[in-house]
A = this chain, B = another copy of it.
């Protein structure tokens, strides 16, 4: 019984790293299990299938991040009567960075997984996210909409997806970008620095005057 959760954790730890780096379908179960130093068949024994492993990897982060993010937004709206978009986005920073304490490089891995999930999977992951965490998503959308009431709902729909694209793409290629930036501009750019750079960009974009 002690080894069960040990094997399960080893698989999850190995899988999330590889999934974030190379994507879901480009990562084979054999690579995951060999890096985790467990048997190939243990994935299907503990998780049932590769699809369910993918969902389990994502759920481990979602279950931590989503409630924390929801609480942070509620807190911001209590402290400030009229929270700005910058306030809303900024309130998500510490829930994101707290994932680094949960697991090594947790923040980066979570954001990369999110990006891979949104781009790669046509069906099962998007369904999994919306059905399991849909309440949090709508709550977040409402908070943003309240902070930019001049933007019509239809326009806001698109701008939030633009925002998602910005975040997801940036994080999916964050490794390469921070290297280039460090070489070209001699700046120190860890994941937190990138997050803090992107927030003004997103706020300005979401609240841009409607053409």
Name the prevailing secondary structure of the A interface residues.
helix
Q: State in angstroms the CA–CA spacing of A154 and B185 once bound together.
A: 6
A74 interfacial contact with B, CB 8 Å: no
**Scoring A residues 1 to 30 as 1 if CB is less than 8 Å from chain B, else 0, what string do you get?**
000000000000000000000110110000
A119-B154 in contact given A166-B165, A209-B200 (Cβ < 8 Å): no
**Scoring A residues 50 to 87 as 1 if CB is less than 8 Å from chain B, else 0, what string do you get?**
00000000000000000000000000000000000000
- Contacting pair B161 A170 (CB below 8 A): yes
A136 interfacial contact with B, CB 8 Å: no
Interface residues of A (CB under 8 A from B): 22-23, 25-26, 118-120, 122, 153-155, 157-159, 161-170, 172-173, 177, 180-181, 184-185, 187, 194, 196-211
